[in-house]
Amino acid sequence: DTGVSQDPRHKITKRGQNVTFRCDPISEHNRLYWYRQTLGQGPEFLTYFQNEAQLEKSRLLSDRFSAERPKGSFSTLEIQRTEQGDSAMYLCASSYLAGGTGELFFGEGSRLTVL
Amino acid sequence: GEDVEQSLFLSVREGDSSVINCTYTDSSSTYLYWYKQEPGAGLQLLTYIFSNMDMKQDQRLTVLLNKKDKHLSLRIADTQTGDSAIYFCAENSGGYNKLIFGAGTRLAVHP
């Protein structure tokens, strides 16, 4: 399977702990996106990378959130000092820059539950 | 600003047509998309339409685009129980393919 993969699929943590999610995009895709989806809502844009450069961050991404894509391949999203309001599904998507329809290919998500 | 709006729920009888509507705000969007999300699964692209088109047909799916009113619709012909899912409308915003999604329309298909 050469789709977008995310790890872990589920994470339960206590408030105040740090968590890290990993995303492996489709190998030839140079753009990588993080979205957050809460119950009953559509995905909300958090940030995206073109290769290793982080080009845009949403206002939703507080100082407790940091994302990296050090070698332009996989990406990590870290949440420090988690709060109950961080409970959500964190979705990663990738796309190819040149031409095409701009379609984003999504992983199955990492569900975070903060107790 | 960026905003995509959809009705939240649609219930149809199996075999009937479903029409899901969406309004968007970014007139510079080059593509508009419909994604499908089944329970416990990620989002999958269902279809898309280029902004200079009015209509696109793909088997049981018909997409209509009214650029003047910034209105997009998805028609599913002969709706089946397997079509039960959440359908998200999305616009691409700016030059970097950042997709902005609506809240999703939950389609329920009953016998």
**Does the CB of A42 have a partner CB in chain B at under 8 Å?**
yes
Listed in order, strand segments (DSSP E) in B1-111 are: 4-6, 9-13, 18-24, 31-37, 43-50, 55-58, 61-66, 71-76, 85-93, 98-101, 105-110
Per the CB < 8 Å rule, is A41 touching B99? no
B47 vs B44: CA distance, rounded Å:
9
Q: Is residue A112 pLDDT above 90, yes or no?
A: yes
Q: Distance, in angstroms, between B42 CA and closest chain A CA?
A: 4
Nearest to A48 among B4, B50, B96 (CB): B96
Residue A85: pLDDT band (50, 70, 90) is very high
Kindly list the residues from chain A whose CB atom is less than 8 angstroms away from the CB atom of residue B24. Answer: none
Of the candidates A106, A25, A29, the residue with the CA atom closest to the CA atom of residue B33: A106
Nearest to A102 among B42, B88, B97 (CB): B97
Q: Tell me which chain A residue has its CA closest to the CA of residue B101.
A: A42
Per the CB < 8 Å rule, is B102 touching A48? no
Q: Is residue A115 pLDDT above 70, yes or no?
A: yes
| pLDDT at position B93 | 74
| pLDDT at position A1 | 55
pLDDT beneath 50: ranges in chain B = none
User: For all residues of chain A together, what is the average pLDDT?
Assistant: 92
| pLDDT at position A59 | 85
Per the CB < 8 Å rule, is B100 touching A45? yes
| pLDDT at position B103 | 95
Residue in the block written with tokens 């539950």: A113
| pLDDT at position B42 | 87
Q: Distance, in angstroms, between B43 CA and closest chain A CA?
A: 6
- Model confidence over A3-48: pLDDT tens digits? 999 999 999 999 999 999 999 999 989 999 999 999 889 999 999 9
Q: Is residue A95 pLDDT above 70, yes or no?
A: yes
Query: Higher pLDDT residue, A75 or A59?
Result: A75
Per the CB < 8 Å rule, is A104 touching B48? no
- Model confidence over A55-72: pLDDT tens digits? 888 888 889 999 999 988
C-alpha to C-alpha distances, A48 to A9, A31, A74, nearest whole angstrom = 20, 7, 12
